[in-house]
Amino acid sequence: MLSGGREAVKTVWQTANLVRKEGFGAAVRSSIEDPADWAEVERPDLARVTPDGRVVILFSDIEESTALDERIGDRTWVKLIGAHDKLVHELVRRWSGHMVTSQGDGFMIAFARAEQAVRCGIDIQDALRNSAKRKRNQGIRVRIGTTWGARCGTVTICSAATSQ
């Protein structure tokens, strides 16, 4: 592996962990330019799905997941995270996304076009909001953001609160 690829992978993991632990605000303040570089080195198949060779990445994480796990207990948490993961996987398929990685309560997902990533993120938020109305998701909040291109721009597309 090229040293630049190693650095890109290292940055992706550091960014994903930062997002998971401290949210997107912290990630935006830190370097988030390397996911596209990582994809070019480690997953060239993802680059081929984009019309111009760029990769659009969607990040998601459950806000305050450790506190939620402690509040609801492990048995309920396992069911909740399973339902969350199933929902995300279904919507990623619907919007023709590709799972890059998942870590605990968050995902990194690649799309060919920004519109697909944004619509997928909005659909995830809508589904969680509807689930909260039916009292099925323990009031989870999922933060979602996107990044794209060789030199990435970043935007948080939605961070919706759900009632408990």
Give the tens place of pLDDT for each residue, 18-36.
666 666 555 544 434 445 5
pLDDT band at 117 (very low <50, low <70, confident <90, very high): very high
User: Per the domain annotation, does 13 fall within a domain?
Assistant: yes
User: Per the domain annotation, does 89 fall within a domain?
Assistant: yes
Q: CATH code at 66?
A: 3.30.70.1230
Q: Which domain range does residue 62 map to?
A: 3-159
Neighbours of 150 (CB within 10 A): 14
User: Per the domain annotation, does 19 fall within a domain?
Assistant: yes
Average confidence (pLDDT) over 145-161: 56
The pLDDT score that the predictor gives to residue 87 is 92
- Residue written as token pair 């190693």: 6
131 or 47, greater pLDDT: 131
User: Per the domain annotation, does 110 fall within a domain?
Assistant: yes
pLDDT band at 97 (very low <50, low <70, confident <90, very high): very high
User: Per the domain annotation, does 164 fall within a domain?
Assistant: no
User: Per the domain annotation, does 105 fall within a domain?
Assistant: yes
Are the C-beta atoms of 106 and 20 separated by less than 8 Å? yes
The pLDDT score that the predictor gives to residue 94 is 97
At 132, is the secondary structure helix, strand, or coil?
A: helix
User: Per the domain annotation, does 28 fall within a domain?
Assistant: yes
The pLDDT score that the predictor gives to residue 36 is 52
Are the C-beta atoms of 38 and 46 separated by less than 8 Å? no
Q: Is the pLDDT of residue 146 over 70?
A: yes
What mean pLDDT value characterizes the chain? Answer: 73
Give the tens place of pLDDT for each residue, 44-67: 665 555 666 678 889 999 998 888
Neighbours of 127 (CB within 10 A): 17
The tally of domains found in the chain comes to 1
User: Per the domain annotation, does 33 fall within a domain?
Assistant: yes
